[in-house]
Structure 1
Amino acid sequence: MTRNDSGAAPAGAGTTSPGEGGQQRRTIGLVSLLMTGVGTIIGSGWLFGAAHAAGYAGPAAIFSWIIGAFIIALTALTLCELGPMMPRTGGMGRFAKLSHGSLVGFIGDWAGFVGFTSTVPSEASASVQYMSNWDYPWAHELFSSQTQSLSHTGLLVASLLCVVYFMLCYWSMQVFLRAVKAVTIFKIFVPLFSAGTLIYLGFNASNFSAVGNGSIAPYGWSGALTAVTGAGIVYAFNGFQTPISFAGEAKNPNRTIPIAVLGSLALCLVIYVVLQVAFIGALPPSQLAAGGGWSGLDFRSPFADLAISLNLSLLAMLLYLDAFVSPSGSGVIYLASASRMLWGMERDGHMPKSMGRLHKHTLLPRPAMWAVLAASIACLWVFPSWDELAAVISVGYVIGYLCAPVAFISLRRLAPSAVRPVRLPFAGVLAPVTFVAVSLLLYWSSWPLTGEVIFIIVAGLGFWIYYEAKTGFHDIGRQLKAGAWFPAYLVTMAAISYVGSPRFGGLGLLSEMGSFVAVTVVSLGFYVWSYRSAWLTPEAAQLDAGAEPGTG
């Protein structure tokens, strides 16, 4: 379908979302939206997250999942108000663009796009890593224990899996939705069944105090905090925002989006906590002692390895099967979501026009899908390890989350008359608390990871500068004034991480408590700056007048 500036749907297009610069049918109901959320959250994170979190924090990893879910729920709440206000397909940056203009919107969308695109190969990598434990010589060659990464053969297999994800998204939305529903039911059953079996047949309560100082937190609570991002917990939960990225194609988005977002997050928190308890309890005490404690554990296929150690061969086979199903289901959804983020960036004028082109029959952004596939495979070969990808992706997601509370509170001031199907109470408290909590997540990620990912995000500003130059830097003064706080915030947070507590990778110029105080005070300062720099963009004015942004 060609682009249509009037926002009107061509004859026969069915129910559409206006103002998309290319029309979409609203075909996704509540169950499908909920399934996309749950189906994305339960991916490779459950296969590896419990083992990696235990390595960082020991039994205190249970609290890491709860802390991570709580902070993400704060972000999710702000999005539950923002999403139904403007049910359009795209990433979180589209909300920040309404309140702060193109610079902040681009950074938010770029962070989300990098995270979602990188997640596609991480899901494929997880499947291949589990496959490498099959009892066949050729399978053992897929993963190198020495480098803790996929071999060249493993990378080729993972690349083929990325192509399979692409094909499931490419043909039609209905094929995509049918695949998601079928896979998600299986993905819910297997983790719960596995956890229940391990708890019933191999639970050792003594593991919860067997190592270190005899407490549930043998490495201190800093380990539990670092695990939130470093062990892939944020990575595991990030699928909560997937229903929002399909808002432009959702039926009755005012009701279905909040239910799908919060419902999928709550359900998956229960599943992840049960899995973490099962992993800690099922680990043979002799293996825990032989490894030198939780930090010395080394699993190629964590839950399958545990099942084999307990002579549960049938459970191990089920886990090997799910190691394809769970990551693949998430990989399909992330590829579809990333293509829609790329499409949204083209609508904002910061990507080639081809990225916004819809196929005339399926109404899917196929050129954007091809671009995501190419970027995913390239990322896989640059970062051939699930561990590396999960940590980097988590920090990228966290940076994108910052857009939500900023846009949420700013639009309360700029567009007070906008229709808000979901209006949250205590907005003046929720927004700054969320901003500070997300900033702490960023700091807990630990140096040098924080600096590396912030560099990637800042480097992406080259795209923004290039496309702004093509328009003659239209209204550049206002864009910079409204958006300067975001790059300044990222550089400042990198500096605090660098000089912060050694427990979080810093030089030790700040104590652990001093670092927390510094992050809290600095982030509140930037929150105030961001709030005061927000301005009534043309899109926000349209929203306040009751019109869909981008129409008329």
Structure 2
Amino acid sequence: MEQGKFRRKLSLLDLTLLGVGSMVGSGWLFASQAAVKMAGGIAWIPWLFGALAVMLIGLVYGEMAAAIPRAGGFVRYPDYTHGSLVGYLIGFASMMAYSSVAGVESEAVRSYASSYIPGLDTADGNVSIWGNLFQIALLVLFFLINYWSVQVFGKINTIVTILKFVVPLLTIIILLFNFHPSNFTVTGASPGGIHGAMQGLTAGGLVFAFLGFRQAVDFGAEARNPQRDIPRAIVFAVLLSAAIYVLLQIVFIGAVPHSMLSGGWNAISFKSPFANLMETLGLGWFAVIIFADAILSPSGTGNIYLAGTARTLFAWARNGYFYSVIGKIDVRTGLPRGALWLTLLLSIVWTLPFRFSMWSGLVNAVTSATVMTYMIGPVGVAALRRTAPDLVRPYKLKGLGVIAPAAFICATWIIYWAGWQTDSLLIGFTLASLILYFAFMDRDSETRNRMRTEWKSGIWLIVYYLFVGVMSILGSFTNTKVYSIVIPNPWDTIVVGLGAIVFYYWGVASALRVPRIVEEDEAESEEESRYVASGDSVNV
């Protein structure tokens, strides 16, 4: 099969809105209530920490993506810096995390649409056959939008994301006219305080709301000017989304009628928080608009994640850990159509009506897995500074010696704060997948020799996973009655932070002596080669 190339069609605006469109999805409709129930009147603070953590991680990826723009870069870079074992583990976690989102978002659309379209749910509240068909049809629509061309996809996403901005902004303005500052002194959150704020980052979905910043990196091979635009798109997307989320949290806290807070924040239980709050305030007309946006927002996010998952699967295949047909680019359209077909199938699987006790925990685990794919970035960029000092870096991050370890510590805290129930599933599935790693890699003597060498570059990651798992049992975020808390808060968080520093420097020291950067890549073009050769730099 003749190999095509990605088409460079995406502008800075397209890349920025890819990130914003991923971050401002269905999360804004629910996360504010979840955060305030856990943290109370200080619920806006963890939003700032989440934005800071993601910004630090995004900046380190900005340097790598500008120097080596690749489709599915989050999966390619670990393989370049640390070899096959680390590349495989991060790729598997990415596949699990990414492939679930489009299906989950289609379920969210179906849930809201059931208010307008009869027959999508059964009488007992389960998904009907028609509901399942509706979800599948929506995924097929996402697939077709992506299947046509990246330019069509980019322009449709730009339009949808701009529309998605309007409703949250109007919500902020309207609720400001119903603001009660005294609400910020109300107590009764569970667990409340700083512990509640840390728990809300993961269990409340706050960090998950920011994870879409990676789209600018994953679509790097399709950016018109990746060296300049990728770092800027990351910064702009995080700042815009953070501003929206912090303001939404503040107005939600201030707009809840004081009479409803007699039982404390934990007693607040709106089914559709912002829409029901508008109805409570006598603004039913705007509640209808929010319900409509609750269909548009998840659709936009699902559409982007279906595209992003395809780039991740493509990158995994190009690394050599999956079937080669998934790593092919269509000559005519410049799209990884094989990866798009597989993404559609995986997304549909996530919507099937499985019924077993681990399902909800599994969904939480695979979405939280996204952060476990991010923590490798700070290690990788620091390793490249040491092992590839002559690599042309159009964007070179200042203060990397401080920013990279800080980003790794933040990522580790976020994983740990998810709790034992999530981490045990996540780490268990990822380590169990090593069976597939040996199956795909055990091909010839040369590959086996490479595995033995690169195992030394990856053992630190396996020990890191085990460390986080053990701390999840011993610490205060165990989220289960089976185990007693051995290390109370905040000492458990301090221990995890200190451990993260050790693993960060171990990971940097374990990198391949010569990074295995694939030069004959889909990202190369005469135009890009001229730009890189010029050595131009960009500041953010």
Same fold (TM over 0.5): yes
Aligned equivalent of 2:418, options 438, 445, 460:
445
Partner of 2:534: none
Q: Write out per-residue CA displacement over residues 509-538 of structure 1, whole angstroms, 9 at most, x where no aligned residue.
A: 112122122212222221222111112345
Question: How big is the shift at 1:143?
Answer: 8.3
Aligned equivalent of 1:514, options 491, 494, 499:
491
Does the 8 Å contact 2:102/2:302 carry over to 1? yes
Partner of 1:2: 2
Give the 5 Å matches for 1:30-45.
30-45=12-27
Amino acid at match of 1:161: L
Does the 8 Å contact 1:92/1:401 carry over to 2? yes
Q: How many Å separate the matches in 2 of 1:324 and 1:501?
A: 37
Percent identity of equivalent pairs: 35
Partner of 1:168: 145
Partner of 1:49: 31
Aligned equivalent of 1:267, options 234, 237, 240:
240
Aligned equivalent of 1:81, options 55, 63, 81:
63
Q: How many Å separate the matches in 1 of 2:162 and 2:173?
A: 17
Does the 8 Å contact 2:476/2:492 carry over to 1? yes
Q: Structure 1: which 5+ residue stretches go unaligned?
A: 4-21
Question: How big is the shift at 1:374?
Answer: 1.3
Question: How big is the shift at 1:260?
Answer: 0.5
Amino acid at match of 2:320: G
The question of 1:476 aligning with 2:447 is answered: no
Match of 2:30, SS state, is: helix
The question of 1:525 aligning with 2:507 is answered: no
CA-atom RMSD, angstroms? 2.6
TM-score, structure 1 normalization? 0.88
Partner of 2:161: 184
Q: How many Å separate the matches in 2 of 1:330 and 1:381?
A: 20
Amino acid at match of 2:337: R
Partner of 2:193: 220
Does the 8 Å contact 2:121/2:127 carry over to 1? no
Q: How many Å separate the matches in 2 of 1:339 and 1:83?
A: 18
Amino acid at match of 1:211: T
Aligned equivalent of 2:475, options 500, 509, 515:
500
The question of 1:107 aligning with 2:89 is answered: yes
Aligned equivalent of 2:75, options 80, 93, 96:
93
Partner of 1:206: 182
Give the 5 Å matches for 1:5-24.
22-24=4-6
Partner of 1:329: 300
Change (3 A) 1:104 1:503: closer
Does the 8 Å contact 1:101/1:479 carry over to 2? yes
Q: How many Å separate the matches in 1 of 2:38 and 2:295?
A: 26
Match of 1:28, SS state, is: coil
Does the 8 Å contact 2:10/2:151 carry over to 1? no
Does the 8 Å contact 2:318/2:327 carry over to 1? yes
Question: How big is the shift at 1:232?
Answer: 1.2
Q: How many Å separate the matches in 1 of 2:487 and 2:364?
A: 24
Amino acid at match of 1:421: P
Change (3 A) 1:317 1:302: same
Q: How many Å separate the matches in 2 of 1:266 and 1:387?
A: 31
Q: Structure 2: which 5+ residue stretches go unaligned?
A: 530-540
Q: How many Å separate the matches in 1 of 2:362 and 2:135?
A: 14
Q: How many Å separate the matches in 2 of 1:535 and 1:431?
A: 18
Q: How many Å separate the matches in 2 of 1:155 and 1:230?
A: 27
Match of 1:314, SS state, is: helix
Q: How many Å separate the matches in 2 of 1:191 and 1:390?
A: 26
Q: How many Å separate the matches in 1 of 2:90 and 2:156?
A: 29
Q: Write out per-residue CA displacement over residues 142-182 of structure 1, whole angstroms, 9 at most, x where no aligned residue.
A: 883xxxx7566544433332222112111221221121011
Q: Which of 489-498 and 371-380 deviates more?
A: 371-380
Match of 2:224, SS state, is: coil
Q: Write out per-residue CA displacement over residues 439-467 of structure 1, whole angstroms, 9 at most, x where no aligned residue.
A: 11111111211111112222333332211
Does the 8 Å contact 1:93/1:105 carry over to 2? yes
Amino acid at match of 1:249: E
Amino acid at match of 1:203: F
Match of 2:335, SS state, is: coil
Amino acid at match of 2:34: H
Change (3 A) 1:234 1:388: farther
Q: How many Å separate the matches in 2 of 1:241 and 1:413?
A: 24
Does the 8 Å contact 2:80/2:517 carry over to 1? yes
The question of 1:70 aligning with 2:52 is answered: yes
Amino acid at match of 2:425: E
Aligned equivalent of 1:485, options 453, 456, 460:
460
Q: How many Å separate the matches in 2 of 1:386 and 1:457?
A: 17
Partner of 1:232: 205
Q: How many Å separate the matches in 2 of 1:503 and 1:468?
A: 36
Q: How many Å separate the matches in 1 of 2:248 and 2:359?
A: 19
Does the 8 Å contact 2:460/2:506 carry over to 1? yes
The question of 1:343 aligning with 2:323 is answered: no
Match of 2:320, SS state, is: coil
Amino acid at match of 1:483: G
Change (3 A) 1:387 1:274: farther
Change (3 A) 1:276 1:419: same
Question: How big is the shift at 1:234?
Answer: 1.8
TM-score, structure 2 normalization? 0.89
Q: Write out per-residue CA displacement over residues 372-413 of structure 1, whole angstroms, 9 at most, x where no aligned residue.
A: 111112123367999867743442111011110010100000
Q: Write out per-residue CA displacement over residues 481-514 of structure 1, whole angstroms, 9 at most, x where no aligned residue.
A: 0011111111111011111125765631112122
Question: How big is the shift at 1:97?
Answer: 1.4
Q: How many Å separate the matches in 2 of 1:151 and 1:455?
A: 32
Does the 8 Å contact 1:84/1:254 carry over to 2? yes
Q: How many Å separate the matches in 2 of 1:383 and 1:56?
A: 30
Change (3 A) 1:471 1:537: farther
Does the 8 Å contact 1:500/1:510 carry over to 2? yes
The question of 1:463 aligning with 2:452 is answered: no
Change (3 A) 1:449 1:39: same
Aligned equivalent of 1:281, options 254, 259, 264:
254
Q: How many Å separate the matches in 2 of 1:115 and 1:541?
A: 25
Question: How big is the shift at 1:139?
Answer: 6.2
